[in-house]
A and B are shown apart, each in its own frame.
Chain A
Amino acid sequence: MKNEIKIQIRVPNQTRYLSLIGKIGENLVREICRLQNNKDSFAHNLNVVLTEAMSNAIKHANVADPDKEVQIHINVTAKELGVKVYDSGQGFDLNSIPCPAFDSDCLNETGRGIFIIRSLMDSVVYRKLKCGNVLEMKKILR
């Protein structure tokens, strides 16, 4: 496990923990990417990605059941930063979520979360597991 960081967090399926999880990711990037030019932007982006992914798991996959839980795994190597968000719900079809249209007439109130994650990460995959689902996101570290 040389030069590798693994963080595993388990929190109740409640939006009150979004800030905690987002800030853990943001602080992690500030610590490990001290020499990176775009550190502040990357740190903020990871806060956004964790918030969106966890929010998605709470609202769409776990159907806002406060007795369920969300697991978040963050794995950092020299080459990439990986985030996995596990839910224990029915899940959803990642590809069925429409991309928000970008003309000024498009004023949808929802549907931007997955688009934002896809914009900020290099790869995004949603897989069904034996007990639940996992949203896997990776960012190449340059």
Chain B
Amino acid sequence: MNLKTEANGNRMIIFVREERLDAHNSEDLKAEMNRLFATGSKELIVDLKDVRFIDSSGLGVLVSGFKNASTRQGSLKLASLQTQVKSMFELTRLHRVFDIFQTVDEALDS
């Protein structure tokens, strides 16, 4: 999976550079989030600008990261959701769970 992780202060930004986040590749994102948690990070932002498709496995991995961050008194925020991806969060009501921002910059300012 094509991921790029950048540090901004104590916050880590994961850019998911894939068209799909699904049952085939979502475990790679989970592994990257777990790697960051294991090295002491607890403030994560996941940028989904390139993702136009997400399935229940992709949603589940983001829920896993959200719970992991919350356990550490940290946060996992989402940025740059495309319309179809946002519709999946709304269908499963997960838009009520996550803090979702238009851009990474907005997430950093929050």
Contacts and interface: CB of A to CB of B under 8 A. Distances in A.
User: Are chains A and B native binding partners rather than an unrelated pairing?
Assistant: yes
Interface of A: 15-16, 18-19, 22, 41, 44, 47-48, 51-52, 55, 58-59, 100, 102, 104, 107-113, 115-116, 119-120
A107 B67 contact: yes
15 contacts: A18-B23, A18-B55, A19-B22, A19-B24, A41-B84, A48-B53, A51-B23, A58-B23, A104-B97, A109-B60, A110-B56, A112-B92, A115-B92, A116-B91, A119-B91
Q: Residue among B24, B63, B92 with the most chain A CB within 10 A?
A: B24
A113 B55 contact: yes
Contact of B92 (A15, A22, A55, A100): A100
Nearest to B30: A109
B92 A116 contact: yes
Interface in B75-110: 84, 87-88, 91-93, 96-97
